[in-house]
């Protein structure tokens, strides 16, 4: 009988339990596809007595993840603890030092330490796989590292946080304010313990930095990702976008340009008829543009027990088959240190600002934009009964740097109340 591939699973939350269930219920299928049995030697979690809805008494328990990673009867360490440092990092490093392969769903760990961990894996001939860390059940890592390996990648973009997409689509479909949609998502258990990881764009930014590394052969550089969350998007912005034929999405975009590597995670307007514009609820979507294949669209569940556990098992099966792929698609030594783009690719922008009811106020705003080199495509002033009125502007293509110069200068005009909202209109 072929020697089984023995797993040690650290973390028995939603994803860990999902992995255990698949191994228990689909043992024959996994063996047939992997060419050898897939078994669990031991597990590690905070509580041994918690009822997780799946039998665990047949597995050894370890009190800490590092001890689990070092066991002689563990071939593959499955890290599902989470967090960029602490036990997850210590146990992953311990597993790699011991020459064990690692499968993880931890995007924060790799976004902050991916280069060092990739080097550690290569040093001992181990593999470090992380399909489950990016977009849940969507096999985007495999698509980039394997299926599209013959392409120069031009651009990767996508909606990579289901919670944010749920909030934005509920604002539109239910006519809800941001706070109302946020509370609804929280009540459904969609938000992280620290909600800013979701709505601040950090979670999705981690994922984008990993895809950028694979797509462009660069070292992971999360610190250079431009992050903007969805907290300032209003129901007014949602409605105005719809009137213009757009939807508002928290959109990640990475591309290599003559100015350097662009990595942006921010709320954008996308055409309502595009695949991204039609994406509803908590679903994720990643769009990849290659020089040989053109545009590839991958859509599916971005989180949850089944989809993420499915991604974990996909990596495990590859290891069982003997597939050895470098962490980011090529050797860590060949990954270049990226030069962050100082300015982003020019694009039109949607602006919303509250204009004081003063003579010449609109002219002052137009003048400030013109002085910064920002050309107005169209402008609309909403009717009002107060001392301020919302003004909506769509610019021609401009850089964010020029737009920021104009927005900063608007403060000196003393005709704009509060901070204007600026949303990029992404060309697809």
CB 182 within 8 A of CB 244: no
Q: 211: which DSSP letter?
A: H
Burial of 6 (0-12, 13-18, 19+ CB in 10 A): middle
The answer to whether the beta carbons of residues 277 and 246 sit under 8 Å apart is yes
Of the candidates 201, 195, 248, which has an alpha carbon nearest to the alpha carbon of residue 229? 201
- State the pTM of this model: 0.93
Residue 392: CA atoms inside 13 Å, Cβ hemisphere, count?
Answer: 14
d(CA 182, CA 318): 39
109 alpha-carbon distance from chain centroid: 13
Q: Which residue in this structure is represented by tokens 């280069």?
A: 115
**Using an 8 Å Cβ cutoff, are 263 and 227 in contact?**
no
Number of other CB atoms surrounding residue 252 within 10 Å: 27
Nearest to 255 by CA among 286, 215, 292, 217: 215
The residues, ordered by sequence, that sit 6+ positions from 396 with a Cβ below 8 Å of its Cβ are 348, 374, 375, 376, 377
- Indicate which residues carry an active-site annotation: 207
3-state percent helix, strand, coil for the chain, nearest multiple of 5: 40, 25, 35
Half-sphere CA count of 154, side-chain side, radius 13 A:
10
The three-state secondary structure class of 76 is strand
Handedness of CA 314, 319, 321, 322 (dihedral sign): positive
Q: Which of 78, 42, 77, 44 is nearest to 58 (CA)?
A: 42
Tens-level pLDDT at each residue, the chain (428 residues): 589 999 999 999 999 999 999 999 999 999 999 999 999 999 999 888 888 889 998 899 999 999 999 999 999 999 999 999 999 999 999 999 999 999 999 999 999 999 999 999 999 999 999 999 999 899 999 999 999 999 999 999 999 999 999 999 999 999 999 999 999 999 988 888 889 999 999 999 999 999 999 999 999 999 999 999 999 999 999 999 999 899 999 999 999 999 999 999 999 999 999 999 999 988 999 999 999 999 999 999 888 889 999 999 999 999 999 999 999 999 999 999 999 998 889 999 999 998 888 888 889 999 999 999 999 999 888 766 678 888 999 999 999 999 999 999 988 888 898 889 999 999 88
418: phi then psi, degrees, rounded to nearest 5: 75, -175
């Amino acid at each position: 009988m072929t020697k089984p591939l023995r797993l040690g699973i650290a973390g028995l939350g939603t994803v860990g339990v999902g992995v255990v269930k698949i191994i228990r219920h689909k043992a024959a299928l996994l063996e047939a596809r992997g060419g050898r049995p897939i078994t669990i030697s031991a597990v590690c979690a905070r509580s041994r007595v918690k009822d997780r809805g799946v039998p665990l008494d047949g597995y050894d328990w370890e009190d800490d993840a590092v001890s689990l990673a070092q066991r002689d009867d563990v071939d593959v360490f499955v890290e599902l603890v989470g967090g960029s440092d602490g036990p997850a990092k210590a146990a992953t490093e311990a597993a790699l030092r011991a020459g064990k392969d690692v499968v993880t769903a931890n995007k924060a760990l790799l976004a902050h330490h991916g280069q060092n961990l990739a080097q550690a894996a290569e040093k001992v001939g181990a593999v470090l796989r992380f399909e489950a860390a990016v977009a849940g059940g969507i096999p985007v890592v495999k698509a980039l590292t394997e299926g599209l390996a013959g392409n120069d990648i031009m651009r990767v973009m996508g909606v990579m946080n289901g919670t944010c997409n749920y909030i934005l689509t509920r604002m539109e479909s239910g006519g809800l304010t941001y706070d109302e949609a946020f509370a609804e998502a929280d009540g459904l258990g969609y938000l992280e313990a620290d909600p800013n990881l979701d709505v601040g764009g950090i979670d999705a930014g981690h994922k984008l930095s990993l895809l950028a590394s694979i797509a462009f052969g660069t070292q992971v550089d999360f610190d250079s990702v431009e992050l903007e969350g969805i907290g300032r998007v209003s129901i007014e912005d949602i409605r105005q976008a719809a009137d213009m034929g757009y939807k508002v999405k928290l959109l990640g975009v990475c591309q290599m340009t003559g100015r350097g590597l662009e990595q942006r995670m921010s709320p954008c307007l996308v055409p309502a008829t595009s695949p991204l514009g039609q994406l509803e609820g908590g679903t994720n979507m990643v769009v990849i543009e290659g020089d040989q294949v053109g545009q590839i669209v991958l859509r599916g569940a971005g989180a949850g027990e089944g989809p993420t556990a499915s991604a974990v098992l996909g990596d495990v099966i590859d290891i069982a088959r003997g597939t050895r792929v470098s962490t980011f698609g090529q050797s860590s030594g060949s990954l270049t240190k990226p030069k962050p783009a100082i300015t982003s690719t020019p694009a039109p922008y949607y602006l919303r600002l509250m204009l004081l009811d003063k003579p010449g106020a609109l002219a002052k705003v137009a003048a400030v934009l013109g002085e910064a080199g920002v050309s107005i495509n169209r402008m609309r002033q909403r009717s009002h009964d107060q001392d301020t009125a919302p003004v909506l502007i769509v610019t021609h293509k401009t850089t964010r740097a020029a737009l920021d110069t104009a927005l900063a200068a608007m403060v000196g005009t003393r005709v704009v109340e509060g901070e204007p909202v600026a949303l990029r209109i992404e060309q697809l």
